[in-house]
Amino acid sequence: MSEFIKIYEENPNPKQIKKVVETLRKGGLVIYPTDTVYGLGCDITNNKALERIAQIKGIKLAKANFSFICKDLSNLSDYVKQIDNQTFKILKRALPGPFTFILPGNNQLPTIFKKKKTVGIRVPDNEICRTIVEELGNPIIATSIYDEDEIIEYTTDPELIYEKWNKLVDVVIDGGYGGNIASTVVDLTETEPKIMREGKGALHNIL
């Protein structure tokens, strides 16, 4: 049975944040709020935790397209090849915000991701998940939690999320009601930005 932890976005309680980070360091899985839908994540450096998420999602880890939740753009060069000024300007305008940007990955990616040529980067406009990443010291995985109900698609009520997921994960964070529109996914690996999934973020606002 997982823990259900209430954290307020305006002022995330450091004690609660530490508790979540300890769980992540031990290889635990956490459901957390973002500026779009609730996400399922783990420490990107923990292979066993990554395997668990792939299993829950019913996919092979090698084929998984997990994004990284980062605190800001300061550690981008840890995972991404050098990008040009135009790309950086787009990222600066858009983030923090409801976008996932596909960027060219570099050789420093964790082992499991090394075969991939690209990496999805997310910097949500949500203090809870960004504070967790800051305390942990490296990104966490971002993958959405779907609902069987196609009309809803994403569960927004943390209590309902806990009810459904408490046997599969180690911590569910109650950060208030989530959204039900996922992030806009934009591929920035080519000359022109390309929308891979229409979501909450409006691309015309940042180009």
**In the prediction, which pLDDT does 148 show?**
62
- For the cut 60, the answer to whether the pLDDT of residue 30 exceeds it is yes
Alpha carbon distance 188, 120 (integer Å): 10
Per cent of the chain over pLDDT 90 is: 81
**In the prediction, which pLDDT does 199 show?**
93
**In the prediction, which pLDDT does 23 show?**
98
pTM of the model: 0.94
What is the average per-residue pLDDT within 131-149? Answer: 89
- For the cut 80, the answer to whether the pLDDT of residue 131 exceeds it is yes
CATH number of the domain residue 173 falls in:
3.90.870.10
Structural domains counted in the chain: 1
Instruction: Provide the token pair at 72.
Output: 């800001």
Domain assignment of residue 102, given as a range = 3-205
**In the prediction, which pLDDT does 152 show?**
59
**In the prediction, which pLDDT does 62 show?**
85
With beta carbons less than 8 A apart as the criterion, state whether 104 and 117 touch: yes
For 150, counting Cβ atoms within 10 Å of its Cβ (0-12 exposed, 13-18 middle, 19+ buried), the class is: exposed
Tens digits of residue pLDDT in 152-196: 567 899 999 999 999 999 999 999 999 989 999 999 999 899 999
Give the torsion through C-alpha atoms of 16, 135, 108, 51, to 10 deg.
Answer: -10
